Amino acid sequence: MSQKSLPPLNWLRAFEVSARYLNFTHAADELHLTQGAVSQQIRQLESHLGVALFKRLPRGLGMTEEGQSYLPVVQDAISRLAVGTNEIFGQHNRRHVKVRGSLSFLHYWLAPRLADFCREYPHIDIRYISNLWVKEPDGEDDLEIRWGYGQWSGLHAQRLTWDLLQPVCSPALMARSPILEPADLAHHSLLHVLGYEEGWGYWLKRIGADNIDYSRGLQFDTLISTIRMAELGQGVALARSSVVEDLLKNGQLVAPFNHRIEASESFYLVHEQGEALSPDAVLFSTWLVAQAHRLW
């Protein structure tokens, strides 16, 4: 069964306005067209659909059953387009800073502090786009937050965190099956993050416990997934200290032992070299680095 192709938006707009007024002249005034142009668009729409939408009466217009059925569909579609267009492209008096970065960094580090920025700079809106994997800069983003060594060709990087690698788990798991020394990890599921060079194998080797089979366990593509699984008592995560700092303070997670290894990778704020930042991006960048330095 063939599908009816979508009519042009200006025909649908003419139909919606004409249906509200039941008067082509009044519709023409709102649309800034002539009455003849509106009438022609309605005829073209009716021809395209193969049905009459209006009854031409001696005193104005009425609507056919088909027109009455079609009107709420068209109104809903136009309303959704208007809302979406305004949300994405409107608000000309608002200024956006587009930041692309780690979802884990946003969820656990930036989000609790972002309200302070919004209070200090209420005229600036942050548009944060999360990414799982690093992509080459394409000019669409003002700033990016990356996990790595801080050396990327063509990018200026400012360090935000100094991370330590440490196992964490839920208090419930700790009470159910205590982890008192690294050897006890053999009795628990290890939660892995794909793509991180310094994972369980690296940590176990550094502390001299490389006899434990670190290949087993659950694997995820984001750190936030492993932390969530650890919170639920589903295993032990190898966490980055900047990410779990607040969770350890409020007791959502516990660190079974004090074997903490300095990570060679950390979170960095980066932007393209040679590309001037907007004044708002400079404000956010300065604020973010200052927030990070307060924790060093």
Amino acid identity, position 112: P
| Separation CA 124–CA 121 (nearest Å) | 6
Extents of the domains making up the chain: 9-89, 95-162+266-293, 164-262
pLDDT value of position 257: 87
pTM for the predicted model, two decimal places: 0.66
Fold equal for 9-89 and 95-162+266-293: no
Cα separation, 291 vs 129, in Å, equals 20
pLDDT of residue 120: 92
Q: What pLDDT does 276 receive?
A: 82
Which residues of the chain fall below pLDDT 70?
1-2, 90-95, 132-139, 295-296
Q: What CATH number was assigned to the domain covering residues 9-89?
A: 1.10.10.10
pLDDT of residue 132: 62
Query: Any idea what the Cα angle at residue 17 is, between residues 12 and 18, rounded to 5°?
Result: 95
Q: Name the CATH topology of 164-262.
A: D-Maltodextrin-Binding Protein; domain 2 (3.40.190)
Q: How many CB atoms lie within 10 A of CB 55?
A: 12
10 Å CB burial of residue 214 (0-12, 13-18, 19+) is buried
Determine the Cα–Cα distance for residues 183 and 160; give it in Å rounded to an integer. Answer: 33
Q: Which CATH architecture has domain 95-162+266-293?
A: 3-Layer(aba) Sandwich (3.40)
Burial classification of residue 197, based on how many CB atoms lie within 10 Å of its CB (0-12 exposed, 13-18 middle, 19 or more buried): exposed
CB 188 within 8 A of CB 178: no
Residues 6+ apart with CB under 8 A from 214: 190, 199, 200, 201, 204
Whole-angstrom Cα distance, residue 2 to residue 173? 58
CB 164 within 8 A of CB 280: no
Residues 53-67 pLDDT 10s: 999 888 878 999 999
